[in-house]
Amino acid sequence: LRKNVEDFTGPRERSDLGFVTFDITADILNGKMSIFDWNVKQLFLYLSAEYSTKNNALNQVVLWDKIMLRGDNPRLSLKDMKSKYFFFDDGNGLKGNRNITLTLSWNVVPNAGILPLVTGSGHVSVPFPDTYETTKSY
């Protein structure tokens, strides 16, 4: 599982807004077998950013998600993706934040039964720069 990012921050109103672009290479497995067994209807995959700020001890923001149905290829190879959702902080905690951890997780939706939430192994830490970008070249 690998992610590469480049990013910059820009202020909107009074909260920090981060922009992240990323690549994802992943193989979703259940142990050694494909995750799609007889009781898996679909997977809800999401990329979340977790970090702490002065305002909040823990912040989690979902940047991107995807629904993978039974029958789809469990291998992901996405390049140059932009976040689907605005990465707003609750405050100004993104500027200069050196440690934003990006993790890929997924919710297994069975045909019937338990709904587990699984976190993929392998995560990437990204720093945000110390200054704001004034031009929005997103």
Partner 1 sequence: RALRGGRSSGGAGSGGGAAMDLFGDLRRMNKRQLYYQVLNFAMIVSSALMIWKGLIVVTGSESPIVVVLSGSMEPAFHRGDLLFLTNFHDDPIRAGEIVVFKVEGRDIPIVHRVIKVHEKGNGNIKFLTKGDNNEVDDRGLYKEGQNWLEKKDVVGRARGFLPYVGMVTIIMNDYPKFKYALLAVMGAYVLLKRES
Binding site for partner 1 (CB under 8 A): 41-42, 44, 46, 48, 50, 55-62, 65, 67, 69, 85, 88, 90, 105, 107, 109-115, 117
Q: How far is the CB of 133 from partner 1 (least distance, A)?
A: 22
β-strand pairing of 75-82 with 87-88 = unpaired
Nearer to partner 1 by Cβ, of 41 and 79: the residue is: 41
Select 29 or 69, whichever has its Cβ closest to partner 1: 69
33: CB partners within 8 A, 6+ apart:
none
**CA dist 19 → 46, 127, 138 (Å):** 17, 12, 8
Compute the least distance from the CB of residue 75 to partner 1, in Å: 21
Minimal distance, residue 14 CB to partner 1, in Å: 13
Q: Is the dihedral of CA 49, 5, 123, 127 positive or negative?
A: negative
